[in-house]
Amino acid sequence: AEKPYQCSTCQKIFRDRSTLIRHERVHTGERPYRCSECGKRFTRSSDIVGHQRTHMGEKPFGCAECGKSFGQSGDLITHQRFHTGEKPFRCSACGKFFGNKSSLVKHRRWHSGEKPYKCHQCGKSFGQSSDLIAHQRTH
């Protein structure tokens, strides 16, 4: 039988425990996987593989339109939308379209007021991880 795993912070439900654990890092800001080359940290070990291509200069994914190359296939796909003008991600609240999913996710937080990034030193919450990082520098 399928056991749902629920996030205690935002109540989202996941099919397996490992996905819940990875999701909870959105709220905690935890990035347990560290690049040995530069120290940059990631929420998933699989993200390091694409990142490490930046250190090796490896960019196997080339844009046929302009020749720009990328280390990760997803970055090429997102880039190609600049050429086509495609914006496949639509906000159900206001109808605005976005070229990538992460922009839509950030935009939705504006509607919902969701602030999943919490400072563990003072308890203040933020809608974007970059705002939390900037805030943490003030402590």
pLDDT tens digits for the chain (139 residues)? Answer: 567 899 998 899 999 999 999 999 988 889 999 999 999 999 888 888 888 888 998 999 999 999 999 988 889 999 999 999 999 999 999 999 999 998 999 999 999 999 999 999 999 999 999 999 999 999 9
pTM beyond 0.75: the answer is no
3-state secondary structure the chain: CCCCEECCCCCCEECCHHHHHHHHHHHHCCCCEECCCCCCEECCCHHHHHHHHHHHCCCCEECCCCCCEECCHHHHHHHHHHHHCCCCEECCCCCCEECCHHHHHHHHHHHHCCCCEECCCCCCEECCHHHHHHHHCCC
pLDDT at 49: 85
pLDDT at 89: 95
CATH superfamily, domain at 96-136: Classic Zinc Finger (3.30.160.60)
What topology is assigned to 32-86 in CATH?
Answer: Double Stranded RNA Binding Domain (3.30.160)
